[in-house]
Structure 1
Amino acid sequence: MKENWWKILASVLVLYSLAGGLLIEVPALPILHESIRNLYYHVPMWFAMILLYLISVIYSIKYLASGKTNHDLIAVECVNTGVIFCFLGLASGMLWANITWGDFWPNDPKLNGSAISTLMYLAYLVLRNSVDEEQKRAKISAVYNIFAFPVMIVLLFILPRMTDSLHPGNGGNPGFGGYDLDNNMKLVFYPAVIGWILMGTWIMNIRYRLRKLENIENSI
């Protein structure tokens, strides 16, 4: 029970954010209106994705330093789980964009950067499946992963700030602050971020353990 406290916390926070996101009062803002509730779902997906990708990079570096198979398995399962959250973030973002901007995919640098980043990580998974030899596959994908992460950071957080962008906090567009992200929203938003990050870690852990069992079966 003591070892699983964070899994219980993840479940409680996610359920709380799902319910609170629909029920707790939000500020009446022009253009956004009730769609601002999507902040509780869209943004935490990206937080979870980025953290999983970061953990993946750390374990790719560890693999290159140690050559331990488990480090490679953690790296790839972090990416596999991160891609799930990536698609959830893209889907929720597209719905929000259609409501507020009138288009599922307007010509926005952050949206285009997210599409390129998604393709980069899908290419990582394709790369792994295209190399048969285990150690060679792990080394090549580890190097690719290490370079992909900073490129993603540039595409998502640096380039959008250097040009016009519809996204809050980018291209001179003010980010969410005290006016729109009020105390009621903070009571849901921050638990949602923590909950989905923990949930992502939990999913990754399950996938990693399953991958280890598969490797053991294949080696018998």
Structure 2
Amino acid sequence: MNKIWWKILAAVLVIYSTIAGLLLGVPRLAILNETIRNLYFHVPMWFAMIVLFSISVFYSIKNLNSQNETDDLKAVESANVGIIFGLLGLVTGAVWAKFTWGQFWSFDPKQNFAAISILLYCAYLILRNAIEEEQKRAKISAIYNIFAFPMMVVLLFVLPRLQDSLHPGNGGNPGFNSYDLDSRMRMVFYPACLGWILIGYWIYTIKFRIRNLQNQAQQF
């Protein structure tokens, strides 16, 4: 039970936030209207992605010190799942943009920089596949990851704030906390963020165990 309580919590939080996000009341705001409910799905995807990329860079740093294959596997599998959540963030954002801004992709700075962030980690996976020797692959990809992570942070949180943007909290626009994330939404938004982060971590642990078993099987 000690090992599965957080998995149960993750499932409960995601189910709760999904149902409550669709049924509970939300602020009636111009342009956003009912589409504001996408906040419960779009933003948590990015939070989960950032947590998974943080795990990836942590194990990349650890791998440089330990030269342990397990650390390398954890780094790549957490990055794999992080990319999935990043793509989900792009898709949910594009759908939201269609109904609020009139088109799926408006080349908003944050949209562009978010896409570049995902491409950074796609390049990380391509780099790994291009190197056959295991220790060399682990070392070079770990170094790349250590540089890619701060670049991702700058792309997502720094550069968009230096330009005009349709996103809340950027380009002079007030953030959600400033005008429309009321108490009703907080009761759903924060559990949604925690729930999806835990789901992402759960998926990562499963993928790591599968990859580890595959490697062990290849050794026999």
Q: TM-score, normalised by structure 2?
A: 0.98
Question: C-alpha offsets along residues 112-165 of structure 1, whole Å, 9 cap, x if unaligned?
Answer: 101111111111111111111111111111001110011111111101111111
Map 1:84-123; keep pairs closer than 5 Å: 84-123=84-123
For 1:6, the equivalent position in structure 2 comes to 6
Shift of residue 173 of structure 1? 0.9
Unaligned runs of 5+ in 1: none
Distance between the aligned counterparts of 1:162 and 1:203, measured in 2?
35
2:147 is the alignment partner of 1:183 = no
Shift of residue 171 of structure 1? 1.2
Moved over 3 A (4+): none
Question: C-alpha offsets along residues 80-110 of structure 1, whole Å, 9 cap, x if unaligned?
Answer: 0001101110000000011111111112111
Which AA in structure 1 matches 2:72? D
Distance between the aligned counterparts of 2:15 and 2:133, measured in 1?
43
Question: C-alpha offsets along residues 11-42 of structure 1, whole Å, 9 cap, x if unaligned?
Answer: 00000011111001101000000000000000
Q: TM-score, normalised by structure 1?
A: 0.98
Question: C-alpha offsets along residues 49-95 of structure 1, whole Å, 9 cap, x if unaligned?
Answer: 00100110010000001101110000000000001101110000000
Shift of residue 215 of structure 1? 0.6
Map 1:34-73; keep pairs closer than 5 Å: 34-73=34-73
State the percentage of identical aligned residues: 64
Alpha-carbon RMSD: 0.7
For 2:172, the equivalent position in structure 1 comes to 172
Please give the secondary structure, in 2, of the residue aligned with 1:166. coil
Unaligned runs of 5+ in 2: none
For 1:135, the equivalent position in structure 2 comes to 135
For 2:20, the equivalent position in structure 1 comes to 20
Please give the secondary structure, in 2, of the residue aligned with 1:28. coil
